[in-house]
Amino acid sequence: MKGKVIVITGGSSGIGKALAVEFARHGSKVVIGARNHEKLMEVAESIKIQGGDLVFLPMDVSNENDCKRLIETAVSQYGTVDVLINNAGISMRALFVDVDLSVIKKLMNINFWGTVYCTKYALPYLLEQKGSVVGISSVAGIKGLPARTGYSASKFAMNGFLEALRVENLKNGLHVLVAHPGFTTSNIRNTALAADGAMQGESPRDEAGMMSAEEVAKHIYKAVNKRKNKIILTSQGKITNLMNKFFPNLLDKMVFNHMAKEPDSPFK
């Protein structure tokens, strides 16, 4: 990845920030986009102090023009795009019967349409470079999770889009990776939306035993380097994938019981 141009959405925190650090550490030229200008600056400064090459752009992936500007920034600064990592995402925690539909629309706009917009404008350069498109999905993109209907829907949509894109370009040299991290130490649960669209704030899960964002980033870096089609991270994620294939009804009950044990669970 040395000298390659890597574009990362949601690059100001969590997995996106860890990915920026990981690729920069290996000599990549990194372009990050996110909504928080201050956090973007902090990431940029920390990477540049370590000798990394990085530019950033405040942007919102749910805005098509912002996605276009992110790709244009990469091409203007570095001449092309070799890897696009669609990482920006937002979650939710509410039963579908209670949730305002605007919450699900917001999740789809960020998690799904953000991926579509960025991929559309990066694709000509990626095809030219025989580069990589990466989608950061989730275990919720393998198994629909209760109280995360919008989140699971957006991740399943992303998966289908990227798999179709891979097949369309089988003879064009395009690499497409779908990464499924398990529960990861990041701020996605803190910024998750409640039924009325307000931010959840405090995470309902104990993050002590989760895989770190830095470890997730290392796995994704290796998968991009080896041009893998799919990775599932954490033992919990791998078990979920296997059980969903062979024991789906049992998994339904296990998932329900697991989620019902969360503090302040919406399940009555």
Query: How does pLDDT run along the chain (268 residues), one tens digit per residue?
Result: 999 999 999 999 999 999 999 999 999 999 999 999 999 999 999 999 999 999 999 999 999 999 999 999 999 999 999 999 999 999 999 999 999 999 999 999 999 999 999 999 999 999 999 999 999 999 999 999 999 999 999 999 999 999 999 999 999 999 999 999 987 666 555 578 888 778 766 555 555 567 899 999 999 999 999 999 999 998 888 999 999 999 999 999 999 888 888 888 887 6
Distances (CA, A) of 254 to 18, 65, 145, 259: 31, 42, 11, 9
Amino acid at 49: I
Tokens of 17: 């920030």
Tokens of 165: 């894109």
Q: What was the pLDDT predicted at 140?
A: 93
In a domain, 212, yes or no: yes
Which residues make Cβ contacts (< 8 Å) with residue 240, sequence separation at least 6? 139, 142, 143, 251, 255
Candidate list 78, 125, 151, 221, residue with the active-site label: 151
In a domain, 12, yes or no: yes
In a domain, 265, yes or no: no
In a domain, 231, yes or no: yes
Closest CA relative to residue 144, chosen from 225, 220, 247, 251:
251
3-state secondary structure 179-200: EECCCEECCCCCCCECCCCCEC
In a domain, 19, yes or no: yes
Which residues make Cβ contacts (< 8 Å) with residue 110, sequence separation at least 6? 61, 62, 88, 89, 90, 154
In a domain, 266, yes or no: no
Q: What was the pLDDT predicted at 189?
A: 52
In total, how many domains does the chain have? 1
Q: Is 125 a catalytic residue?
A: no
Please identify which residue in the block is written with the tokens 């405040």. 58
pTM score of the predicted model: 0.92
Residues 169-192 pLDDT 10s? 999 999 999 999 987 666 555 578
Q: Find the domain containing 96 and state its range.
A: 5-260
In a domain, 268, yes or no: no
In a domain, 245, yes or no: yes
Q: What is the CATH number of the domain that holds 125?
A: 3.40.50.720
